[in-house]
Amino acid sequence: MKEVFLLLFTSLLFVSCSSDDEAIIAAPLTENDIFGKWEVAHVQKTSGDTTETLNGFVFDFKTNNKLMITKESEAFSIEGSWSIMEVENGLQILIPTKEAPLRALHNEWDVNYLSSLNISLSGLSNDENGNMEHVNFEKI
């Protein structure tokens, strides 16, 4: 009976681990993993879900660490920078504006999950309380 249970459990484990969207979690992050246009799918702060404040912004991670942020509905465009923090395997996003809502993303982020379609980040908030924030990007 133990063998049947163990065989069933092992089979279930292998089936549940498959995915079409290969995730990079422990591997070193590279620029090629980040390049391209992304939009914010979810923002979670201590105060709650603030995703709506960043709806419509497109983050285009380009070569030479250039970041173009646009919002077509408002004819908005600003250039920033980004870099990979190799020691921590994190992502640093620097946006040269103190204007809300973009200043919330001017931060050093830990990469929790990365795939060809999604990036999940977490980092300490910019407020004095040091709360954790979470941001999820989806590839456009």
Angle at 122 between CA 119 and CA 128, to 5 degrees: 150
- CATH code reported for the domain at 22-139: 2.40.128.20
Question: What per-residue confidence (pLDDT) applies to 127?
Answer: 66
The model carries a pTM of: 0.75
- From 55, 40, 68, select the one nearest 136 (Cα to Cα): 40
Q: What is the per-residue pLDDT across 93-112, written as a single tens digit (0 to 9) for each? A: 887 777 778 887 888 888 88
**Residue boundaries of the structural domains of the chain:** 22-139
Q: How far does CA 131 lie from the centroid of its chain?
A: 17
Which tokens belong to 93? Answer: 């996003």
What's the CA gap between 86 and 62, in Å, rounded?
18
Q: What is the per-residue pLDDT across 4-55, written as a single tens digit (0 to 9) for each? A: 333 333 333 333 444 445 555 556 778 889 999 999 999 998 888 989 999 9
What's the CA gap between 83 and 24, in Å, rounded?
17
Which uninterrupted H or E stretch holds 136? strand 132-139
What's the CA gap between 63 and 9, in Å, rounded?
45
